Amino acid sequence: MKLDFDSFREIADALVRNKSRSLLTGFGVFWGIFMLLFMIGGGQGLKQMIGKNFEGFATNTSILVSSQTTKPWKGFKEGRYWNLTYTDVERLKMLMPDLETVTPCISTWGTKSEFGDNSYSGSFKGVYADYVNIEEPQMKYGRFINETDVLQERKVCVIGKRVYNNLFPDGGDPCGNFIKVGPAYYQVIGVDYSSGNVSVSGSADESIVAPLPVVQKILNRGSVVDLVCVTGRSGIRMTELEPRMRQIVARQHSFDPSDNQALFIINTEQMFSLIDNLFTGVNFLIWLVGLGTILAGVIGVSNIMMVTVKERTTEIGIRRAIGATPRDVLSQIIMESISLTLVAGSFGIVFAVQLLRLLETIVTANPDNAGASFQIGFWTAVVAALLLTLLGVIAGLAPASRAMAIKPVDAMRDE
């Protein structure tokens, strides 16, 4: 396909002569590519915003919580209350080698913490050092609870972001200071800036975390734990381990293993899988709607080019009479189609990028959404441009074939 300055000038003249049609048809392509890219960028940003709610939380976690039985079992009536204990933790560790982490947690709500004249009421949690495998902390200052803290039962604590902002409004590193939590004083050893909204026993940003043995004695819990968090080893699906966990715990506490209400298991694997499936469907819908809109615009381009070819029958016939080859006619018609789709599509790409930038600025003004990106990738824009070029060729094939079929004698006779 030979292109030179005269060819481009002819294409430009043709588009200018049919500017009203070009604008109308180009708007269809513009709207189609804009819709596709805007929805891709918007879907990506929405996924990141939702993903931030699960930030730092293990995707292969199950949380075991005791509840009231709903079925009779071996002489016990339904409606019986029971509690998880440290024995359950040890039995799960011993009998289920597929579990990587088995860690208990106890907590209380509405615990008042004080430092000087400042106070804040939040959750107070007792955990082991391996709790970081369940909720990964993002330490702003200091460190998290370690094994030595647990073994020596140190009165130390890690405070969440909101607790830190209320107790230490002037900022700075609070590590080393003693705060009063309930009836006892604890030394602050770290500040956790985790921002995820999925957490255990209260949001991480409003929690105070201390070694479990210390909290156990302060709250006088004995051997009872509020819940047990477990994670599976790599490649192990937690859904497959649930029946075995129920059997082990049910045997210890004498309730029906099939009584799902007696032992409530929260499986985060299913939660993450649900979100992934949701966005797979959303992405499919985005491409379906976007490509459908683009194809509608391209069909419009093809129809307009057919009308243009018909109106230029005499011009094409004269060009054929003075030596233009069918290939010359073919190249001009297809290049006109490509030019129309590329120009309109380029405006659509630019407009989508600018509107996504504005949307990102508005959304990320909220600190909770900081870091969410609504922009499309460079290669996504390149693929969109190549797609427009291909569709431009396809849109110009039928009109070009009709133009090549025009015979000079018939064109002169029509004139």
Tell me phi and psi for residue 155, to 5 degrees.
Answer: -90, 75
Q: Which of 331, 351, 345 is nearest to 391 (CA)?
A: 345
What sign does the dihedral 361-367-368-371 (CA atoms) show? positive
Quick one: tokens of 374? 């609504």
- Which residue in the block uniquely carries the two structure tokens 């405070």? 159
Beta-bridge partner residues of 115: 118
Secondary structure tally for the chain: helices H, strands E:
12, 12
Quick one: tokens of 136? 């990964």
Q: Mention every residue, 6+ apart, whose C-beta is less than 8 A from residue 241.
A: 62, 96, 98, 99, 232
Residue 408 is predicted with a pLDDT of 60
Residue 284 is predicted with a pLDDT of 84
C-alpha distance across the termini of the chain, in Å: 29
Q: Which of 29, 32, 20, 27 is nearest to 307 (CA)?
A: 20
Residue 189 is predicted with a pLDDT of 96
Q: Are strands 207-211 and 156-160 parallel, antiparallel or unpaired?
A: antiparallel
Tell me phi and psi for residue 261, to 5 degrees.
Answer: -80, -25
* CA contacts within 13 A on the Cβ side of 130: 10
Cβ atoms of 228 and 66 closer than 8 Å: no
Distance (Å, whole) CA 370 – CA 364:
5
Cβ atoms of 240 and 149 closer than 8 Å: no
Q: Mention every residue, 6+ apart, whose C-beta is less than 8 A from residue 159.
A: 113, 167, 174, 179, 188, 190, 191, 192, 207, 208, 209
Distance (Å, whole) CA 162 – CA 196:
13
pLDDT tens string, the chain, 415 residues long: the values are 444 444 444 444 544 445 455 555 667 777 778 888 888 888 888 877 776 666 666 678 889 999 999 999 888 889 899 999 999 999 999 999 999 999 999 999 889 999 999 999 989 999 999 999 888 888 999 999 999 999 999 999 999 999 999 999 998 999 999 999 988 999 999 999 886 666 677 778 889 999 999 999 999 988 999 999 999 888 888 888 999 999 999 999 999 999 989 998 888 777 777 777 777 888 888 888 877 877 777 777 777 777 666 666 666 666 666 666 767 767 777 777 777 777 878 888 888 888 888 888 888 777 666 667 787 877 887 887 787 778 777 777 766 676 666 666 555 555 5
Exposed, middle or buried, 385 (CB in 10 Å: 0-12/13-18/19+)? middle
Distance (Å, whole) CA 18 – CA 306:
12
CA distances from 88 to 84, 92, 224, 253, 329 (A): 6, 6, 10, 9, 82
Quick one: tokens of 147? 């094994």
Residue 364 is predicted with a pLDDT of 78
- Kindly give the residue spans of alpha helices, DSSP state H, lying in 312-375: 313-321, 326-363
Backbone torsion region of residue 138, taken as left when φ is above 0, otherwise alpha when ψ lies between -120 and 50, otherwise beta:
beta
Instruction: Sketch the domain layout of the chain as residue ranges.
Output: 5-54+273-414, 68-98+237-261, 99-232
pTM: 0.68
Question: Which DSSP helix (H) or strand (E) runs through 373?
Answer: none
